Structure 1
Amino acid sequence: MGIAAELAAQPSAKEQQYKPRIEFDGRTGFIDSDLHSAAETVAFDELLEKHGLAGQGVRLDPDRPVRISRWQNFAGEWLQADRFYVVAERPGGVTADRLIAQMIDHPPARRPALAGPAVFNFQASDLQIGKSDNGGTDGIVTRYLGSLERAVEKYRVLRRFNTVGPVHLMFPGDCVEGNQSQNGRNWWRTDLTLTDQIAVFEQLLYTTIEAFSDDTEQVLVDVVNGNHDEAQRFQTTRPGDGWATHAANSVSKGLARNPDAFGHIQIRTPDPERGYMTVEAGDTVFTIAHGHQWRRGKAMDWWAAQTFHGQNPGAADVLVHGHYHTWELETTDKRARIQSSTLDGGSNYYREMHGAEARRGALVYLTRAGDVTDLSLV
């Protein structure tokens, strides 16, 4: 009897059976091959197929080489088992090499075809005509006319590169300083009477409309009241009882007397029992409010609550407002909130308390199917 046969006959020398294992937690792991002759090669793809991982985004771990185990059995034959370390592919099979090659071979971008014309939007809030601080109403009117001039220039530039349809002029409140803020204590800090404030705002509306009316087939003018525009507070009247909408309705009646020249102008104000309104301009829906309906930083919460309870802001793509005297853009995937800057001279009281001042001007931008583009302060 040979030595190998004698050893095989002894229970203590019995060879242990090799058992392949697989461990994979969805991200990393390993797969053991079956025991095979050292002269044979195991195909990794066949191993994946055997264990039901083919097509599941599993690949060899590039940072860990295959572990090869070899040993000689009692019959003198060399055997081998292979451990393949695996990782899950990144989503979509993303690799740096593929992305780099994609960028190198990327053709010049083509401008996508856009459905329908864009709307040119002009948004001016918080003029507070009559406020005497830092240049008073003279400074406010000068500042506004400069913004209007730059807005018209921007409109003509944008039309060179875009199909632009209606012009949308928005005045989200605090158009006059009024005499109701701080329970009337602001009245001493005004340089115009209330009726003069209203007359100046009416003329600014006429001037703004005339700046665009000859260059477009439709002008939409939307005006809501701010807290400074309120007609009175000591008795509760209607939410829409304010001087800004009063002025807008007066201008509307004036334009109606010349339909040949101004028949393409439409002035819109909220229902008298509502302080804001939701309206269409082209293919985009706007909710226009002043902003005193919520606290700073809570505009989206107000919008969400209106939507939850089935009010008309739920249909809006864009929420437009003022009140906070600094311009802001806040977006989600489907919604945009655009907060106006101010056009007044600032508040000496606020500067004394906080030191802060705002960049002043109106906002201009394009909208198309709810998307906001080309936003700038003018």
Structure 2
Amino acid sequence: MGIAADLAAQPAAVESQYKPKVEFDGRTGFIDSDPHLAGESPAFDELLAKHGLAGQGVRLDPDRPVRISRWQNFAGEWLQADRFYVVAEQPGAVTAERLIAQIVDHPAAHRPAVGGGPAVFNFQASDLQIGKSDNDGTDGIINRYLGSLDRAVEKYRQLRRLNSVGPVHLMFPGDCVEGNQSQNGRNWWRTDLTLTDQIAVFEQLLYTTIEAFSDDTEQLLVDVVNGNHDEAQRFQTTRPGDGWATHAANSVSKGLTRNPAAFGHIEIRTPDPERGYMTVAAGDTVFTIAHGHQWRRGKAMDWWAAQAFHGQNPGAADILVHGHYHTWELETTDKRARIQSSTLDGGSNYYREMYGSEARRGALVYLTQAGDVSDLSLV
């Protein structure tokens, strides 16, 4: 065997490959580029993007120049690798370049992630005032309500296709019937149904609303509180929770217990008889549900703050739900939200004569998850 053959038979040394490194501890570090032909350095911004540092407040260290390493490969080409020394932006430093890079590199997202469990679908209907004769009377109230219910069911099915939706939450924040106690009973002659008929109609609306959702969810919560029109009487003060809306809800609850196979996943909740409001959970969000006659217009947040200050249960709520003022509103702070119902009645001729204003009518639907409100609309 000749010398050439002997040399060819010798084990060849394994050439170690150049491996670019990245080190950054949040304050200082370096980024190595991949090998490239000498004189063709990659752009620094490209390296930041490649290693996930774009928009993270990383810049070249002005006190340490780029280190360049060069070598020749077996093909005779001169290769080069660059080490860029980097530092974090100074605290509070803001540059347009960094912000623009952050915006450009932000990945597209279909929907922001929200912590907690699955979303809850909420249906909020207040101030039906069944029996009120103004304008189109109770016929108009029922037609409006059933139309809102149909649109709410369709909205629920749309949102369920797009989101992880769990329980359905039906809320009736008072003034469900016109009653005969408002204005010291002077409203009584402006009704087209007797009081017992008003209650019977509201009970049937509860059954119909429950049946509209019951087959499409594994948990259905129904919350009802009394409004000032629902009060049973005023000339002798009884309990704060003594009203026709909660009376109807409790009757429906007893009726559902007769068929637990079909309705065992449904829970109807009303306040303690000594309270006119209640604080309850639906999914991972806590609601305080009141009618709204407990405070003057524009003072809901003050009432809520006072309740929290004195250690009452609304202090635990993420959302305050109420009606009474006949126009829908959303008011938010960083951690709290107030959702005010619209009305479903035919309007007040007296109010229109005095002020000319009328309300946009309907029920509200929205999702809640971990205390956040989304997809709010009037239906």
Same fold (TM over 0.5): yes
SS at match of 1:138: helix
> CA offsets per residue over residues 154-196 of structure 1, 9 Å max, x none?
0000001111110000000000000000000000100000000
Partner residue of 1:131?
132
Structure 1 residues 13-72: Cα deviation after superposition (integer angstroms, max 9, x where no partner): xxxxxxxxxxxxxxxxxxxxxxxxxxxxxxxxxxxxxxxxxxxxxxxxxxxxxxxxxxxx
AA at the equivalent of 2:280:
V
Paired residue for 1:375?
A: 376
- Whether 1:232 and 2:236 are equivalent positions in the alignment is no
| 1:187 equivalent in structure 2 | 188
1:1-378 to structure 2, matched below 5 A, reads: 92-109=92-109, 111-114=111-114, 115-378=116-379
Once residues 263 and 280 of structure 1 are traced to their aligned partners in structure 2, the CA distance between those partners, rounded to angstroms, is 19
Aligned twin of 1:38: none
Q: Aligned partner of 1:326: which letter?
A: T
Q: Check 1:100–1:113 CA distance in 2 against 1; reply closer, same or farther (3 A cut).
A: closer
Cα distance 1:176–1:110, how it changes in 2: closer, same or farther (>3 A)?
A: closer
Query: 1:96 deviation in Å?
Result: 1.9
CA distance in 2, matches of 1:102, 1:166: 38
* Cα shift readout 1:283-315 (whole Å, capped 9, x = no counterpart): 110000000000000000000000000000000
Q: Which moved more, 1:114-123 or 1:98-107?
A: 98-107
Q: Quote the Cα distance in structure 1 between the aligned partners of 2:330 and 2:276.
A: 22
Q: RMSD of the alignment, in Å? A: 1.3
Cα deviation, residue 235, structure 1: 0.3
Structure 1 CA distance for aligned equivalents of residues 91 and 230 of structure 2: 55
What runs of 5+ residues in structure 1 fail to find an aligned partner? Answer: 1-88
Q: Give the distance between the partners of 1:323 and 1:120, measured in 2 at CA.
A: 22
The residue identity in structure 2 corresponding to 1:214 is: D
Q: In structure 2, give the amino acid aligned to 1:374.
A: D
Distance 1:105 1:166 in 2: 37
**Aligned partners of 1:337 and 1:173: how far apart in 2?**
16
Distance in 1 of aligned mates of 2:311 and 2:244: 29
Query: What is the alpha-carbon distance in structure 1 between the residues aligned to residue 228 and residue 315 of structure 2?
Result: 23
- Aligned-residue offset at 1:102: 2.5
Matched residue SS, 2:186: helix
The offset of 1:101, in angstroms, is: 2.8
Query: Which residue matches 2:82?
Result: none
- Aligned mates of 2:112, 2:340 — CA distance in 1: 29
Identify the range of structure 1 (126-135 vs 108-117) with the bigger mean alpha-carbon deviation: 108-117
- Which residue identity is paired with 2:184? N
Deviation at 1:93, TM superposition (A): 1.4
Unpaired stretches in structure 2, ≥5 consecutive residues = 1-88
What SS does the aligned partner of 2:209 have?
helix
- Aligned residue for 1:376, secondary structure, equals strand
Q: Which residue of 2 aligns with 1:80?
A: none
Counterpart-to-counterpart distance in 1, 2:107 and 2:261 = 50
What displacement does 1:266 show? 0.4
After TM superposition, give the deviation of residue 116 of structure 1 in Å: 1.3
Q: Distance in 2 between matches of 1:274 and 1:105?
A: 53
Structure 2 CA distance for aligned equivalents of residues 227 and 151 of structure 1: 26
Q: What are the superposed Cα offsets for residues 339-362 of structure 1, whole Å, 9 maximum, x if unpaired?
A: 000000000000000000000000
- Cα distance in structure 2, aligned partners of 1:369 and 1:206: 29
Worse overlay, 329-338 or 108-117: 108-117
1:67: which partner in 2? none
Give % identity.
Answer: 91
TM-score, normalising length: structure 1: 0.75
Which of 1 and 2 has greater Rg?
1
TM-score normalized with structure 2 length: 0.75
Instruction: Deviation per CA, 1:174-219: give whole Å up to 9, x if none.
Output: 0000000000000010000000000000000000000000000010
Q: Quick one: distance in 2 between partners of 1:164 and 1:128?
A: 31
Determine the C-alpha separation between the residues in 2 that align with 1:144 and 1:337.
23
Secondary structure, aligned partner of 2:187: helix
Q: Tell me the distance in 1 between the aligned counterparts of 2:256 and 2:105.
A: 57
